[in-house]
Chains A and B, each alone.
Chain A
C-alpha cells in the first residue's frame, strides 16, 4: 500500500468513526463532539500557518471572530439567509487576513507574534466599541428560524452534528491535499529554511501571504460555522483567550501534522470540561499543559507518534 493511500485511509477512517459515533453517543458527548469538530477546524486553519509554514500568530481570534461576526451581523442586521451569510463570513475573514498579512509579514519572529497579538486586541476592542451592533460582551443570539439552511434546521442536534462533520471533513481533507501539493511543499520548505527557499527562486513573501490568507479563511469558516451551528455570537470569541486556544490545541496534538489539531482539541476540550466541573479555575489546566508541552513534548501527541512509530504520517 503506498504512503498516500495509507494516509488517505487513516483520515477517511477517522471521519467514518465520527460518522458512526453520531448514532451511539449519549446526548451530552454528542453535543461536545460537534463543538470539538468545529473548533478542530479552527485549529486546522491555525496549523497551516504555525505547523506548516512556521509562522506563530498570537492573533488568530481575529480571523475566527471576523468569520463569526461577518456571518452573524449580516444575519442579524440584514436578515441574509445562512449560506450567503456564511460566504460573507469567509470573505470578511479572507480580507482581514490579507490586510494583516500585508502588514505583519514585514516583521519576523517575536515581532510577528506581538504584531498579530496587537491587531487581534484592536479587533476585540473594536467589537466592544461598536456595541450598538455587536452587543459587546453580552453578544447576540441567532434565532432558530435564521438557522435553517436549504430546509435543514441546523439547531437540531443530529443535523448540527452532521453539519459539523462536513465542516471538519472539508477542512481536514483540504489540509491533507494541501501538504501534498507543490505549494504545500514550498510552505514546509519555508518553515525548514526560509533563506534556502528564497535562493531556490521562490517568492517567500507571496507564499507566506497566501498561507496567512488560507489559514485565515479556514479559521473564519470555523468561526462562522460555530456561530451558525450553536446560535450565538459573542465578544469572548475575539478575545486573547481564543487566540491562545488554537496554539494550545495544535501544540498538544502535534504542530505540522494533519491529525494533530483534532487530537489536541479533543483532549483539551475534555480536560477543561472535566476540570470545570471541579473548579472555576479551569484555565489552570491550559497553563500547566502549555508549560509541560514546551518543556517535555514540543512535538505533541501525533508528532511523537510520527517520530517513533509511523514515519509516514502527513
Chain B
C-alpha cells in the first residue's frame, strides 16, 4: 500500500482507539474532578465490562445483535453497581483521603483482576459484533493532471468500527448534557467546586460521590463493551486502558472534561499514526515520559489554564 492510503487506514484505526479511550478517560476524569481521588482500579472496571459482555452474550445465544444489545444496556449498570458498592464499603470509610484511596484502589485492582482469573479464567474470548460489514474505502490519485478515484487493496474498515465511533460521540454528548444541562449535573459541579459549601447547602455529598464513582466505572465498562467485538476479553486487559487514561487525563488537565476528550482524540490518533513510524514500545516510553514531565512542569495539563 502507498503512504497516503496507509496513513488514512492508521487514522481510522486511531479514531476507534480515540473513541474508546475518550469514554474510559472521561470516566476517570469525572471521578478525579468531582471526588478529588485517583481510581487506580479504573482499568479493572473496563476489563470487568468486557468479561461481563462476553458472559451476557453467551447467556442469550441466538442472533449476536440481541446479546450485544443486552450487554450494552446491562453491563454498564452492573459494573456501576459494583463501583457503588466499592465506594460505600471502602472509599467512604477512609473519608476519600487521596493517598489512602490510591492504596485501597490498588488493592481493589488486584481483587477484581484475580477474582476474574479464578472465575472467568486466563483465556481470551471474543464477542461477536452485532453487525460487521466490510467497507472498502476509496483513495484519490492525480494522473493526467486530474484527480482519479480508485480502491486500494487493503484500505477498508467495517461498519462496526464506524458504529463504535458514532456511539462514543453520542455517549460523550450525553455526558456533556448530563453535566451541563441537568439538575444532577449541577449538583455534581457544585460538589466539585466546594465540598463544604455543597454540604452546607444540603447537597447529599456522599450520595453524589457514590453516583459519580458508579458513573465513572460505568463509562469504562461501556467503552469495553464497545471494543470487545474488536479486541477479545481477557483478565489482564485493564492495564493499557488505565495507563492510557492516566496519560489522557493528565495531558488534558486533571478534572477537565473538554481537555480530556481533546487529549483522547490526540493520543488515540497519534497512537495509531506514531506506531506506523516507531515501535509501539518506544511510542509508549515517550508517552509515559511526556505525562511525567507534564505533571512536573505543567500540572494544569497542556490544555488547561493555570489556576490561581
Contacts and interface: CB of A to CB of B under 8 A. Distances in A.
User: Do A and B originate from a single complex?
Assistant: yes
Interface of A: 56, 58, 103-104, 106-107, 109-111, 113-115, 118-119, 121-122, 125-126, 128-129, 244, 247, 251, 279-284, 286-295, 298
Contacts of A286: 107, 110
A281 B94 contact: no
Given A111-B299, A284-B111, A290-B110, 16 more contacts: A58-B102, A103-B293, A104-B292, A113-B38, A114-B291, A122-B289, A125-B281, A129-B282, A129-B285, A282-B114, A284-B110, A284-B114, A287-B107, A287-B113, A287-B114, A294-B107
Interface in B93-129: 93-94, 98-100, 102-104, 106-111, 113-115, 117-118, 122
Interface residues of B, number: 39
Nearest to B99: A56
Nearest to A131: B281
B279 to A, nearest CB: 7
Given A109-B98, A129-B285, A280-B117, A115 B292 contact: yes
Contacts of A294: 90, 94, 100, 103-104, 107
A114 B246 contact: yes
B266 interface: no
Nearest to B286: A122
A291 B107 contact: yes
Contact of B111 (A103, A106, A107, A291): A291
Given A109-B98, A287-B111, A122 B292 contact: yes
Contact of B118 (A109, A119, A281, A291): A281
B114 A251 contact: no
B165 interface: no
Nearest to B97: A294
Contacts of A126: 285
A298 B118 CA distance: 28
B105 to A, nearest CB: 9
A295 B104 contact: yes
B253 to A, nearest CB: 13
Contacts of A280: 117, 122
Contact of A125 (B107, B114, B285, B297): B285
A81 B211 CA distance: 60
Contacts, number: 114
Contacts of B246: 114, 118
A219 B284 CA distance: 25
A279 B122 CA distance: 12
Nearest to B283: A125
Nearest to B243: A121
**Interface SS of chain B: helix, strand, loop or mixed?**
helix
Contacts of B109: 287
The residue among B106, B109, B282, B299 with the most chain A CB atoms within 10 A of its own CB is B106
B117 A251 contact: no
Contact of B107 (A109, A114, A290): A290
Contacts of A128: 281
Contacts of B98: 109-110
Nearest to A289: B107
Interface string B264-302: 000000000000000101101100110111011101000
Contact of A107 (B114, B279, B295): B295
Contacts of A121: 243, 288
A283 B104 contact: no
20 contacts: A56-B102, A103-B293, A106-B296, A107-B295, A109-B98, A110-B38, A113-B38, A113-B99, A114-B250, A115-B296, A118-B292, A122-B292, A247-B103, A247-B106, A281-B114, A284-B114, A286-B107, A287-B107, A287-B109, A295-B90
Given A121-B243, A291-B108, A113 B102 contact: yes
A251 B102 CA distance: 13
Nearest to B279: A129
B248 to A, nearest CB: 13
Nearest to A128: B281
A118 B98 CA distance: 18
A235 to B, nearest CB: 11
B85 to A, nearest CB: 13
Contacts of A293: 103
A161 to B, nearest CB: 31
B288 A291 contact: no
Contact of A291 (B90, B113, B281): B90
Nearest to A244: B106
A295 B111 CA distance: 15
B104 A291 contact: yes
Contacts of B282: 129
A155 B253 CA distance: 51
B94 A295 contact: yes
A288 to B, nearest CB: 6
B38 A290 contact: no
Nearest to A282: B114
Of B107, B118, B250, B279, most A-chain CB atoms within 10 Å: B107
